[in-house]
């Protein structure tokens, strides 16, 4: 089973990389971009076949290592 974890800064947390991306896109002529947020995607290949167990395992990975839950939120997708 494959899991995809998307980690993003929580709303209200300063995102300097997102601001730099938005500014650069505007400089390149993409004037319709009002803002950008930057995050990360982590793909995991799991041995677990049960979706409920896999989700619980990945959730624990996120809370312990993959995301700083004080300033970041995360979403888990199983494939």
Positive or negative torsion for Cα 34, 69, 44, 54:
negative
* Mean pLDDT (whole number) for 39-64: 98
| pLDDT tens for each residue of 3-39 | 999 999 999 999 999 999 999 999 999 999 999 999 9
Which has the closest alpha carbon to 39: 70, 9, 69?
Answer: 9
The total of other beta-carbon atoms located within 10 Å of residue 34's CB is 7
Query: Quick one: average pLDDT of 54-62?
Result: 98
What percentage of the chain exceeds 90 in pLDDT?
99
Q: What is the pLDDT of residue 3?
A: 98
CATH 3.30.1280.10 is right for the domain spanning 1-12+36-79: yes
Domain spans, the chain: 1-12+36-79
Residue pair 3/46 in contact by the 8 Å Cβ criterion: yes
How much is the pLDDT for 15? 97
Residue 30, exposed/middle/buried by CB under 10 A (0-12, 13-18, 19+)?
exposed
Residue 29 confidence (pLDDT): 95
2 near 77, Cβ under 8 Å? no
């Amino acid at each position: 089973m494959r899991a995809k974890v998307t980690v993003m800064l929580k709303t209200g947390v300063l995102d300097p990389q997102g601001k730099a991306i938005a500014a650069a896109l505007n400089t390149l002529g993409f004037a319709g971009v009002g803002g950008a947020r930057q995050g990360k995607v982590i793909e995991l290949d799991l041995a677990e076949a049960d979706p409920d167990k896999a989700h619980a395992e990945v959730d624990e990975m996120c809370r312990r290592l993959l995301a700083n839950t004080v300033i970041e939120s995360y979403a888990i997708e199983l494939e």
